[in-house]
Amino acid sequence: MNGSESKSRWICPNDRELTLRAKLDSGWCVKSGLNSPSSVNQINELEQQVIMDVLRRSQQLEAIESDRISRLQDRLNNMKRNAKGDGSKACALCSDSFGLFGAQCHHCKDCLKSVCSKCGVDTFTPIGEPIWLCKICSETREIWKKSGAWFFQKIPKPSTPNHQSSSSKKR
């Protein structure tokens, strides 16, 4: 490698060099140091206005999205406050009793509480397995989907039954 090739090759500056360049106001790039600070292209008024308009629209969209998520969260909290039952002998949401002449009992896959048919949602897993969710857990999943929170939340793992199978009891 001759001398001209080594000069044209770009080398990442270390922190000390970057700090020195910042103090000397020579720019962050080797090529920007060749130009004097007065010859550096400045943003004109029109470009500044366009940037400010984009930032303003972005803030408006963030406020609208925040308001939408807040309304969804308020709806979910209202559902949780109005839940009346215990989820074992009565529906977790409406407190209808289960039994011979009572409501049909379904178990929520996420919270493992019992709910009646009108307070539960019959849905499917991504692999097509039918499951029941209470309306609160179903709404929570919808909020996760609509807000993108599924990316940050820990989605409940599928529960496994605690009882042993009949074949393992016989052995």
Which tokens belong to 155?
């989605």
**How much is the pLDDT for 170?**
43
CA-CA distances (angstroms) from residue 112 to 42, 58, 92, 136? 62, 41, 10, 12
- Per-residue pLDDT of 8-49, as tens digits, reads 566 676 777 777 777 776 666 655 545 445 545 677 889 889
Segment 45-59 mean pLDDT: 92
State residue 164's pLDDT score: 41
Residue extents of the structural domains in the chain: 43-147
d(CA 47, CA 32): 21
The pLDDT of residue 68 is above 50: yes
d(CA 46, CA 29): 26
pTM confidence score: 0.53
> How buried is 11 (Cβ within 10 angstroms: 0-12 exposed, 13-18 middle, 19+ buried)?
exposed
Q: Answer whether 149's CB lies under 8 Å from 76's CB.
A: no
Tens digits of residue pLDDT in 82-132: 888 787 788 888 888 887 776 678 888 888 888 888 888 888 887 888 888
User: 43-147: CATH homologous superfamily?
Assistant: Zinc/RING finger domain, C3HC4 (zinc finger) (3.30.40.10)
For tokens 């790039």, what's the residue?
29
Cβ contact 115:91 at 8 Å: yes
Whether 149 and 143 have beta carbons less than 8 Å apart is answered as yes
